[in-house]
Structure 1
Amino acid sequence: MPRPDRRAPDALRPYAMQRHFQRYPAGSVLIEMGATRVICAASVEDRVPFFQRGTGEGWIAAEYSLLPSATSTRTQREAVRGRQNGRTQEIQRLIGRALRSVVDMKALGERTIQIDCDVIQADGGTRTASITGAFVALVEACASFYEKGGTFPVRDFVSAVSVGVSHEGAPILDLCYEEDSQAIVDMNVVMTGDGRFVEVQGTGEGRPFSRAELTTLLDYGEKGCRELISYQKDVLGGELVWLVGRVG
């Protein structure tokens, strides 16, 4: 069975990023992955959480939210309910871990970079799109205080993508909502620019999956992450891409 949008099994959806999407954050990006759209903003604060005080190290924190109108059925704001649900907390932790994996906290200094990811339209892969877009916003934010000759806080690139096994039993890359809602295996892959895994979250929702299927899913995930990292470099351009990994 062909995919809903006729893509090849190992093809990403059409993607785009728009830098400087908001005026006030130190870094901001609108990322589009198919019909999924997320605003990613990075704000710099000259303070750190209590557990980092006096260490000379900084911190990366993330918040994630889904606008009520982002899905086909309106979702009540979590502020109205008075608490975040478990899914939101899980995604926030994932975004924070992914970004911290490529940041030198000493080079960051005693600063906190607050990452805000707001989903304005959801069609699958919102958490992975958030990581991929937030990375670009993070680099912009770090460039706002970087002093030439120093160590740039961001050491490497990082991106994320979803993979899964369709309800027909075929491994596929970058699932849209229609595919995700029917998938028998669902997985998120987060990778660095040098090809190392930050996180692999996989679940056999319809049935267990084989080692061979896992290998194919990881291959697809690596292919997607590498393509997105190449695009991150294009988006950052000569203005900023040279800073990533720079020491002195």
Structure 2
Amino acid sequence: MPRWLVGKGEGWVTSEYAMLPRATHTRSDRESVKGKLGGRTQEISRLVGRSLRGIVDMKALGENTIVIDCDVLQADGGTRTAAITGAYVALADAISWAKSNSHIAEKSNPLTQSVAAVSVGIIDGIPTLDLCYEEDVAAQTDMNIVCTGDGNFIEVQGTAEGKPFDRNLLDQLLNLGAKGCADLTKLQIQSLSK
């Protein structure tokens, strides 16, 4: 439990993101061996944590801390969005376990929504969903979209890599990302119902 929350009757949800050494085509060293987390790793860990906290009622969670580990086994672009989407499933499962083991009151409902995330981009002028590594590198615009299960946005990160994009393309990317998140939400529901 973080010190600033002790005795306040609220919980906390956070995450740790890591890329395993063989997750990419070229083996990389474990950051733990280097003794320091890289900026990208810290940024993604924070993004995943923020995304999860956006759909959790901390009072309903009680004085419990949940840490979600997001280890990338195989990377092909979109690892941060995949981490968020998978982290929600792990969080829902952890809360279910905590309720059935009396760590969280059975009638309590800490999850206010689901959350999913997807990457979108503009490839050769065409809005594209769920970019792989090659598409991500070639994209004129790259964006990560995090949505709740009911379609509201938690976070949008977007950058023009080449030329700037106009409002029309932004709206197309947001709509495409929201649809992608909705499709992922259906898959999350299926996964959690098993």
- Residues 106-134 of structure 1 deviation map (CA, whole Å, 9 limit, x = unaligned): 11111100110000100011010011011
Look up the equivalent residue of 2:191 and give its one-letter code.
V
TM superposition shift of 1:235: 1.0
TM superposition shift of 1:151: 1.9
- Residues 85-144 of structure 1 deviation map (CA, whole Å, 9 limit, x = unaligned): 111111000000000000010111111001100001000110100110110110111011
Question: Counterpart in 2 of 1:139?
Answer: 92
Question: Counterpart in 1 of 2:149?
Answer: 193
Look up the equivalent residue of 1:218 and give its one-letter code.
L
| Matching of residues 115-134 of structure 1 within 5 Å | 115-134=68-87
In structure 2, how many angstroms separate the alpha carbons of the residues matched to 1:84 and 1:206? Answer: 29
Q: Give 1:233's match in structure 2, choosing from 186, 189, 192.
A: 189
| Matching of residues 29-178 of structure 1 within 5 Å | 48-146=1-99, 150-166=107-123, 168-178=124-134
The runs of 4+ residues in structure 1 deviating greater than 3 Å are: none
- Residues 152-196 of structure 1 deviation map (CA, whole Å, 9 limit, x = unaligned): 111111100000011x12110000011001111010000001211
TM superposition shift of 1:145: 2.1
In structure 2, how many angstroms separate the alpha carbons of the residues matched to 1:208 and 1:51? Answer: 42
In structure 2, how many angstroms separate the alpha carbons of the residues matched to 1:149 and 1:179? Answer: 45
TM-score by length of 1: 0.74
Look up the equivalent residue of 1:56 and give its one-letter code.
G
SS at match of 1:145: helix
In structure 2, how many angstroms separate the alpha carbons of the residues matched to 1:81 and 1:94? Answer: 23
Question: Counterpart in 2 of 1:182?
Answer: 138
SS at match of 2:170: helix
Q: Which runs of 5+ in 2 are unaligned?
A: none
Identity of aligned residues (%): 57
Look up the equivalent residue of 1:196 and give its one-letter code.
N
In structure 1, how many angstroms separate the alpha carbons of the residues matched to 2:106 and 2:47? Answer: 32
TM superposition shift of 1:68: 1.0
TM superposition shift of 1:69: 0.7
Q: What's the Cα RMSD here?
A: 1.2
